[in-house]
Amino acid sequence: MLKQRTIKSLTRAVGVGIHSGQKVEITLRPAAPGTGIVFRRVDLAQPVDIPVNTHSVCDTRMATTISPNGDPGQPKVQTIEHLLSACAGLGIDNLLIDINADEVPVLDGSAASYVFLLQSAGIELQNSPKQFLRVKKPVEVRKGEGKGLMWAKLTPHHGYTLSFQIEFDNPAVSATGQHYVFDMGSGQYKREIARARTFGMTKDIELMRSRGLTLGGSMDNAIVVDDYRVLNAEGLRYDDEFVKHKILDAIGDMQVVGHPLLAAYTSFKGGHALNNLLLRELLADAEAYEIVTFEDERDAPAGFAELAPAW
Ligand SMILES: [Zn+2]
């Protein structure tokens, strides 16, 4: 049987929120089979639980933000996508996350620190079948037109692949690879995707700062690009780090559905908003998906039965 996973022991991280600039501590705890991933705001007089699911997403403008039932008036946790991506990359289904502020620490701007934390805590196989969400019908969402066109789609596939295309009108970005295809069954998440950092353009950063955003952002947790070049002294971690970070984000955004996907994901210039819209569109059609388990591991797609680094 392909089993659900949690972590063996609790682990902690302290850092700043990239948008809030606030110092925050999170504690990751093991959780029972079927729990899914649940954030708990422990800084409030009454702790509030926020289960991660498609409809708990309440804001996707700068990052993926959740609140109970997606109610914007309720306590939030923002920027969940890198931690969720690390969970997906390690095949973790069940986790309780205590957090004492409203934003997940950005750490180094990638998912690598979370992969390290989760692996240090140890991965526990649970005696319950892992539930995959198998896409049965193509689902696509689009926004804009002409140069502003972006789209994302899911098509049936016995496995889980992600294909991403970016197009930035910036020489420093366009000089790098702008298209990448990643196969989750390859076992290469930790090596090929997890280390890709978030990025920002200097002119956008000034604008966002004036609106009280990216207050915690710095060259310690993001690639910063001006009109011509990468400003970080150490340069890029991958030749195509920008598009790989978009795949890292997409893996985290798709994990919000509560199950690893069996699908081919493709995106052209998409982002957090389109990713959540895609999941909502998928769930709106009961014929478009089904939940499946693998009693015999040999029936699962290649690579899915192996322990970390992937699945
Ligand atoms: Zn990101």
Whether the per-residue pLDDT at 311 is higher than 70: the answer is no
d(CA 300, CA 289): 17
pLDDT in tens, 162-216: 999 999 889 999 999 999 999 999 999 999 999 999 999 988 888 888 888 888 8
Which are the contacts of 280, defined by CB distance < 8 A and separation ≥ 6? 54, 55
**What global pTM score does this model have?**
0.96
Q: What is the mean pLDDT of the chain?
A: 94
Residues with active-site annotation: 272
| pLDDT score of 306 | 73
Residue 124 and residue 5 in contact, taking contact as beta carbons nearer than 8 Å: yes
What is the chain's alpha carbon radius of gyration, rounded to the nearest angstrom? 18
Which are the contacts of 159, defined by CB distance < 8 A and separation ≥ 6? 183, 184, 185, 262, 264, 301, 302, 303, 304
Q: With pLDDT > 90 as the criterion, what percentage of the chain qualifies?
A: 85
pLDDT in tens, 238-278: 999 999 999 999 999 999 999 999 999 999 999 999 999 99
10 Å CB burial of residue 219 (0-12, 13-18, 19+) is middle
Q: Measured between alpha carbons, how far is residue 74 from residues 11, 54, 102, 115 in Å? A: 27, 16, 11, 29
Q: Which of 74, 88, 82 is nearest to 104 (CA)?
A: 82
Section 6-33 average pLDDT? 96
| pLDDT score of 93 | 97
More confident residue, 209 or 129: 129
Q: Which of 131, 128, 147, 162 is nearest to 265 (CA)?
A: 162
Section 50-69 average pLDDT? 96
pLDDT in tens, 68-81: 999 999 999 999 99
| pLDDT score of 207 | 85
Distance 36 CA to ligand 1 centre (A): 21
Distance 241 CA to ligand 1 centre (A): 11
Distance 249 CA to ligand 1 centre (A): 5
Whether the per-residue pLDDT at 307 is higher than 70: the answer is no
Helix (H) or strand (E) holding 174: helix 171-174
Q: Measured between alpha carbons, how far is residue 35 from residues 110, 128, 138 in Å? A: 25, 11, 28
Matching residue, tokens 């090929």: 192
Distance 206 CA to ligand 1 centre (A): 19
Is residue 226 very low, low, confident or very high in pLDDT (cuts 50, 70, 90)? very high
| pLDDT score of 32 | 98
